[in-house]
Chain A
Amino acid sequence: MKFNRIILANLFRKKVRLVLTIGSFAVALFLFAFLGVVRDAFSRDNLASANRLIIINRTSIINPLPLSYRERILRIPGVKSVTHNNWFGGTYIEEKNFFPQFVIDPENQRQVVPEFVVPDDQWKAFLRDREGAIVGARTMERFHWKVGDRIPIKTPVWGSWEFNIDGVYHGTRPGDDETQFWFQWDYFEERVPQTSKGQIGWYVLRIDNPDDAPRIAKAIDTEFANSPYETKTETESTFAAGWVKQFGNIKFLIVTIGAVVFFTLLLVTGNTMAISVRERTGELAVLKAIGFSDRKVLGFVLGESLVIAVVGGLLGLALALVAVPLLSHALSGIVPVLILSPTILLTGFVAALFVGFISGFLPGLGAMRMRVVNALRRV
């Protein structure tokens, strides 16, 4: 404790440099946290259920599958329930008001996707209302909608539609997507042109045992092999990973940017600490002359760099804590939900400490090994 005053006094020796160094830590840690959040958002396979499979058209997800496959899929041993979805691709009033809309099969939706919870009375109202919709809580909040509102949705493919909001769904886990808009298959089927009737976008099925997933996937794809609509069946996590891959190797990109940010930070702070130590060679030599051990001198230098790292790191992470929810809200429906997890915060803090330690250790080692007589001769 009695040495803290020396560390603090040295830190405030050059106030502008201190502020800039802390600032560089804060910016780097903010970027680190933000990149981590984006990476998590695009690789959130922990939200994928182990006992869910996705069946898409073997050619591409934009190619449809026949609704008639449903009964054949249900006959495959191990399949518990099946539901199906279509992508609608509309916007609310203006192009910028985009959010994901899905056509759902109301009979089976809740069995297959139980993590999205809708109050029973609202669900019953939805089932009774052919033009009804269930909307995620975040989208409701985004457009200030309330249950009972009638919402116009426009799409370039299917034209203008109107829906009644009958209920709101909430996710049961952090990170669950609460931006979706669901409406009924019957309403969709009724309004689409004859050529699109009876065609769904993809099936989602629930299986009894996750260990059977490879066998069931193979059985389904074999069942529809050599047909006009061949299938590709994957676990939900594989499907999600494949979806993200469409945007490029985001994980690699983010890890690379993060590494570059930290390496740059290491160079900046290391150089700053080296300059700071070089400026005080004489003073450190005097401390050693009057009895301060090599370890204590190293401790002073390390103490300074660690204080900078901790203060800058906490500032950056605090900034991220404020900014990430705001960004997540602003980008609602465009990117997956952004969550700043305790793991990212802890990793960022540890990384800041590591950079602080390394950037202080090398100049500190130099100060520790410095010969007093040589240093005093230069004063």
Chain B
Amino acid sequence: MVKVDGNGGDSSLIQVRDLDKTYRRGGEEIHVLQGLNLDVSKGEFVAFMGPSGSGKTTLLNLLGGLDVPTRGSITVAGDEITHMSAGKLTEWRARHVGFIFQMYNLIPVLTAFQNVELPLLLTKLSKAERRAHVETALSIVGLTDRMQHFPRQLSGGQEQRVTIARAIVSDPTFLLCDEPTGDLDRKSADEVMGLIQELVSEHHKTVLMVTHDPLVALRAHTTLHLDKGLLVEAGSSPQAVSAGGVA
């Protein structure tokens, strides 16, 4: 279930209420998000679309605890994150959020294995346990045979799959994807989106994704359209796209 009217009830995994985000540039106030409401249940795959500057990435940053709203609240799995200290928020991100970035953002001096292992270094898992988790994550993304490769030795699609493995290795509550296919060719993009869909359908992950690409948005259960800081409409993506745009 995905709702934008603020009546999602307490059963939602993610609850956003009256969310405002305002930036000050020069003497001018820019209202990026205004009174935004959102409810997302567990296992949902939501795509956010909209023109540049509409607030998609800002919303994703707020949901991921990378930024704090000007007003309103965000509650994830019962934890209200908007009033957490920076330190608590960092700990919360480590436990609950898996990030997938457009530019992969792998550490170039670490192997695929070591990159995927990074979030687990913050846990109390033993070395053997960490190894088991990393191998599982890499097998899910189909890169077991590339675990000792450095990012420069991998293709763009493979790098993004390593990023996905890094995002899921600690079994976070939800995944945030910022243009995950933005830097990939169509074939690699299809592979990556297939993988994200598989995470949702087979591993019951909750995924929130920002994209410019309507074909990528088609893979989501729901597409929400952001325009000038407002979630203007919600609908199931196939119909929305066939209607000549996004819902």
Residues of A that sit less than 8 Å from B by CB: 2-3, 5-6, 9-10, 12-13, 282-283, 285-294, 372-373, 376, 379
Q: Are A289 and B109 in contact (CB under 8 A)?
A: no
CA–CA, A128 and B107, complex, Å: 82
Q: Are B121 and A283 in contact (CB under 8 A)?
A: no
B64, B86, B87, B118 pick with most chain A CB within 10 angstroms: B118
CA–CA, A158 and B146, complex, Å: 86
What residues on A are CB-neighbors of B166 within 8 Å?
Answer: 290
- Decide yes or no whether B41 CB sits under 8 A from chain A: no
Known: A9-B109, A13-B109, A373-B66. A287 touches B118 (CB 8 A): yes
Kindly identify which residue among B61, B86, B122 contacts A292, using a CB–CB cutoff of 8 Å.
Answer: B122
What residues on A are CB-neighbors of B122 within 8 Å?
Answer: 291-292
CB distance from B193 to the nearest CB of A (A): 22
CA–CA, A227 and B66, complex, Å: 90
- Decide yes or no whether B114 CB sits under 8 A from chain A: yes
CA–CA, A95 and B93, complex, Å: 78
CA–CA, A372 and B64, complex, Å: 11
CA–CA, A373 and B32, complex, Å: 15
- Decide yes or no whether B105 CB sits under 8 A from chain A: yes
What residues on B are CB-neighbors of A9 within 8 Å?
Answer: 107, 109-110, 114
CA–CA, A291 and B109, complex, Å: 19
Q: Are B86 and A290 in contact (CB under 8 A)?
A: no
What residues on A are CB-neighbors of B91 within 8 Å?
Answer: 291, 293
A-B contact list, 29 entries, CB within 8 Å: A2-B121, A2-B127, A6-B107, A9-B107, A9-B110, A10-B109, A282-B103, A282-B105, A283-B105, A285-B105, A286-B101, A287-B107, A287-B118, A289-B66, A289-B93, A289-B99, A290-B94, A290-B119, A290-B166, A291-B94, A291-B122, A292-B118, A292-B122, A293-B87, A294-B90, A372-B66, A373-B67, A376-B66, A379-B103
What residues on B are CB-neighbors of A372 within 8 Å?
Answer: 66
B interface size (C-beta, 8 A): 26
Q: Are A376 and B101 in contact (CB under 8 A)?
A: yes
What residues on B are CB-neighbors of A5 within 8 Å?
Answer: 110, 114
What is the interface of chain A mostly: helix, strand, loop, or mixed?
helix
In B35-93, which residues have CB < 8 Å from any A CB? 61, 64, 66-67, 86-87, 90-91, 93
What residues on A are CB-neighbors of B107 within 8 Å?
Answer: 6, 9, 283, 286-287
Known contacts A9-B107, A287-B118, A292-B118; 12 additional CB pairs below 8 A are: A2-B127, A6-B107, A13-B108, A286-B105, A288-B90, A290-B93, A290-B119, A291-B91, A291-B122, A294-B86, A373-B66, A379-B103
CB distance from B44 to the nearest CB of A (A): 22
In B99-132, which residues have CB < 8 Å from any A CB? 99, 101, 103, 105, 107-110, 114, 118-119, 121-122, 127
What residues on B are CB-neighbors of A287 within 8 Å?
Answer: 107, 118
What residues on A are CB-neighbors of B94 within 8 Å?
Answer: 290-292
CA–CA, A92 and B122, complex, Å: 72
What residues on A are CB-neighbors of B61 within 8 Å?
Answer: 373
Q: Which residue of A lies closest to B92 (CB)?
A: A291
CB distance from A372 to the nearest CB of B (A): 5
CB distance from B102 to the nearest CB of A (A): 9
CA–CA, A358 and B23, complex, Å: 35
Q: Which residue of B lies closest to A372 (CB)?
A: B66
What residues on A are CB-neighbors of B108 within 8 Å?
Answer: 13, 283
Q: Are A291 and B90 in contact (CB under 8 A)?
A: yes
Q: Which residue of B lies closest to A2 (CB)?
A: B121
CA–CA, A5 and B127, complex, Å: 13
CA–CA, A287 and B101, complex, Å: 13
